[in-house]
Every structure is written in structure tokens, then in C-alpha cells.
Amino acid sequence: MMNGLRRQIKEVLERELGVRGNKILEEFLNSKKEELSEEKIEDLEDRVFEKVKENYGIERAEEIVDSIKKIRLSNQLEESRESSKSRIQCQSRYEVLKELGNVCLNLNQLKEAENYFGKMFEISEELGREKMIIDSLVSEAELYLVMDELSKVEENVRKIIELSKESGDRVMEGEGIKLAGIIAWRKGDHQEGMNYLNDSLEIFKERGLKEKTASVYRELGDLHVDAEDYEKGVEYYEKAAEIFGAAEMFYERTNMLLEIGIILSEIEENGAIEYLQLAEEESLENSFFDFAAWSSLNLGEIYLEKNRCEKAEEKSRKALELFEKIGDKHGEGGAKLTLGRLIAGRGELLEAEIVLKDAINIFRKLGLPESEAEARYRLAEVQKEESKRNQAEANLEEALKIYDSLDITEMKEDIEKKLADLTK
């Protein structure tokens, strides 16, 4: 069986990383004949995480490691079927099912996750362990939120709160109340959602649970941003970032800093540059290259709007380098779009045309029509300067079709004016 595990893991690493993946495995094993024990697979997961994080960022690392974890845990589950059905074995099986469900949820394998969480619930009922029953209901509810099956979430939440009150488990009651708040918000009742979330916040704060407190602040921030109350949303995000940092949850903290910077830039409030610089700095310190890249790109766009072209180019090129490093084509397209505008602005039209065409190709392949339309609009401006009137007209017409399909009126009117000027 262990040799079978090794073959499956080798296939995952080769599929995801090619030759580099096989090299990581061989270097870890030191010998092509060495077998993989479960303990050794866990050590390999740590090694893969560090190696992939260094080169592709934390999200890619987590995805690949979760694929390996799924192989290890599936093997554990299979072996547990052959074991005795003592209470200890059942509890162990329960823990494996929970971890497998979470791994499948992370990998967006939602039906598999639902199956594992359902089996968790069955075991918890067989054992008659109330805490385990509540825990399995929470896992299912979080999955149903991702699946947007709100009626199922509501049913689980009612049971979670009821059972938690009966057992006097205030923390799990807080989890249920938090979920109730998210449901209310998803249904459009922001006030009720906020009330529930604040109730859960008080429970978690009373017990000094930093991670749970910060997660509720983040939900409250999301709720207010969704309601377009950006000032209050930023206030909650700032609290979440502070507490995530105190809990040494640096990935979550950096995510919040980046969100704050982006929101402040969009509503043209002061402080956007400071937050994005902080997000960029902390991302690089922790090798969160995905966040570092988006921080750099947003800084580049802000500097471009402020006509600080040297800083804009520095940040945009840094973003492009990072996006290429981690293989993020969406980000790469965005960086090339910003760079194309910059290069065109200083009169280097041929290079700008090449870069903007690259951006268009990326956005088209990714199925990002609005980004493609903007890139075509910018390319048309360059081609007009180059006296390539027919090509400029063709790109404006393509951009107009896209904006028309997306019903973006403002851009449609602008393009129609430019087309009229071109065809005079």
C-alpha cells in the first residue's frame, strides 16, 4: 500500500510541478527505493509546502499539499475500515473524516466534502457525543454556505444553537450565532446580520479567542462593504488585521491590509498607499508572493493616476515579476495593462502596443471580458497615435461590443465618441 501511496504522490507532484515536483520527492527520499510511511508523508507535506511557497506563493503551496494530504488521509480512512469498531477507533475515524472533508472543501471538491462531513455526523450520533454532533453540524453548515444552500445552513444552525445551549457550550453557540448572522446578511437583512455577528463577537471576546474574534470582525467588515458603508467596513478590517497579527495569523492579517488599501484607493481616501506598502512589505517578509504582487500592482495603478510615473513603473514591473514567478496569469495581464499605459505615456508606442496585445491575449484566454475591453480601449489609443486608424477602429468596436454585452454605459458612450472622431 505504501508503494501505491508513493506512486500517487509522485503523480500529483509531477502533474502540478513537472520535473521540479519529481526532484522535490527524490531529494526528500534520498533513495528511489525508500518507502513512504504515513509519518514520512507528513514530513514530505511540510517540505513541499516550503519549497512551493518559495517559488509560487502560499495559495499554490496549500493547494498542492492538500492534494497530498487527501491521498494520505484516504489511506488512513481505508485502513480504519479494517480495524475494530471500538469507541476509540470510531473517534479516530471521525477526526480523519473531518480533516478529509476540510481538505476537499479547500480543493473545491464539494460533493466529496459533503460525503465526508455526513459520515462524521453519523459517527457522532452513533457515539452519542454532543460536542462531536455540534462540531459536525458546524462543518456541514460551513460547506453549505460555500454551496449557497442557505436552507440547509439554517437547519444546521438551529440545531447548533439548540444543542449548544443545552450543553452549556458558549463557544459553539457563538459559532452558531455567527453563522446565523452570515445567513441573514446573505438574505439581504444587513441589520439582523450585524446583530447576530455582534452577539457572537461578544462571546468570543469574553473568552479571549483571538482567531474567532478577528474572523467576526472580518465578517462585519465584509457586511458593511457589501452595504457600501466603506468607512465602517475599513474600521472593522483594521480591527481584524490588528487581532490576526496578535494571534500570529500573518496571512490573514496581510489579506486584511491589502483589502483596506484597495478599498481606500477605490473610494479615493487617504491612506491607501500606506496600507498597500505595509501589505507589500509584510507579504514579502512572509513569502506571501500572491499578496505582495497584488499590493505592488495596486500601488503601481495609484502612482499612475497620480502621475508619479517612475514609481508607477517600478511597482508595476515588480508586480509583473512576482505574477510571472507564481504563475498568476490574471495578475500578469493586469500588470501588463498598467505597464502598457505607462510606456505609451512616455511615447514608446511600439513597445506599448506589444505589451497591451499580450494583456488582451491573457484576458481573452481567461474569459475576463471587462479587462479585455479596457486593454483594447488602451491599445486603440496607442494605435491612433501610431496612425493605425483601421486597427484602432477595430479594437474600439470590439471593446464596444464587450461593454455593450456587460451593459457598462459610461464606457460605451466614451468609445462611441472616439469611434466618431476616428471615422470623420
In a domain, 266, yes or no: no
In a domain, 409, yes or no: yes
Task: List the alpha helices (DSSP H) in 82-189.
Answer: 87-106, 110-127, 130-146, 150-167, 170-186
Higher-scoring residue by pLDDT: 3, 314 = 314
In a domain, 411, yes or no: yes
CA distance 56 to 323: 9
Encoded amino acid at 367, one letter: G
pLDDT given at position 321: 96
Q: Output the domain CATH number for residue 365.
A: 1.25.40.10
Percent of the chain with pLDDT over 90: 78
Encoded amino acid at 201, one letter: L
CA distance 171 to 156: 16
In sequence order, the 6+-apart residues with CB closer than 8 A to the CB of 47 are 24, 28
Q: Is 37 left (phi over 0), alpha (psi -120 to 50) or beta?
A: beta
Question: What number of CA atoms fall less than 13 Å from residue 373's CA on the CB side?
Answer: 18
CA distance 22 to 285: 28
pLDDT given at position 287: 87
In sequence order, the 6+-apart residues with CB closer than 8 A to the CB of 114 are 140, 143, 147
In a domain, 91, yes or no: no
CA distance 24 to 54: 13
Band (pLDDT 50/70/90 cuts) for residue 4 is confident
In a domain, 123, yes or no: no
> How many structural domains compose the chain?
1
SS (H, E, C) 338-402: HHHHHHHHCCCHHHHHHHHHHHHHHHHHHCCHHHHHHHHHHHHHHHHHCCCHHHHHHHHHHHHHH
Give the best-scoring range by mean pLDDT among 46-55, 84-93, 120-129, 235-244. 235-244
CA distance 369 to 366: 9
pLDDT given at position 411: 81
Over residues 8-50, the pLDDT tens digits come to 999 999 999 999 998 888 888 875 566 678 888 999 999 999 9
Q: How far is CA 43 from CA 28, 51, 75, 104, 195, in A?
A: 9, 13, 16, 21, 44
CA distance 230 to 193: 17
Long-range contacts of 23-28 (CB under 8 A, 24+ apart): 24/48, 24/51
Contact 158, 165 (CB under 8 A): no
Range of the domain at 413: 328-424
| pLDDT at 1 > cutoff 60 | no
Greatest alpha-carbon span in the chain: 85
Q: What is the pTM of this model?
A: 0.87
Mean residue pLDDT of the chain comes to 92
Task: Show the CA angle centred on residue 402, arms to residues 397 and 406, nearest 5°.
Answer: 145
Contact 379, 350 (CB under 8 A): no
Contact 329, 306 (CB under 8 A): no
Report the interhelical angle of 58-81 vs 2-17 (nearest 10°): 160
Contact 104, 123 (CB under 8 A): no
Question: What number of CA atoms fall less than 13 Å from residue 42's CA on the CB side?
Answer: 4
Contact 419, 389 (CB under 8 A): no
Average pLDDT over residues 107-127: 95
CA distance 298 to 261: 8
How is 37-91 classified by DSSP, letter by letter?
Answer: -HHHHHHHHHHHHHHHHHHH-HHHHHHHHHHHHHHHHHHHHHHHHTS---HHHHH
DSSP-based three-state secondary structure for 292: helix
In a domain, 341, yes or no: yes
pLDDT given at position 83: 60
pLDDT given at position 147: 95
In a domain, 8, yes or no: no
Contact 294, 57 (CB under 8 A): no
Task: Show the CA angle centred on residue 193, arms to residues 203 and 244, nearest 5°.
Answer: 50
In a domain, 89, yes or no: no
Instruction: Tell me the three cell numbers of residue 10.
Output: 509522485
| pLDDT at 342 > cutoff 60 | yes
Over residues 365-420, the pLDDT tens digits come to 999 999 999 999 999 999 999 999 999 999 999 999 999 898 888 787 788 888 88
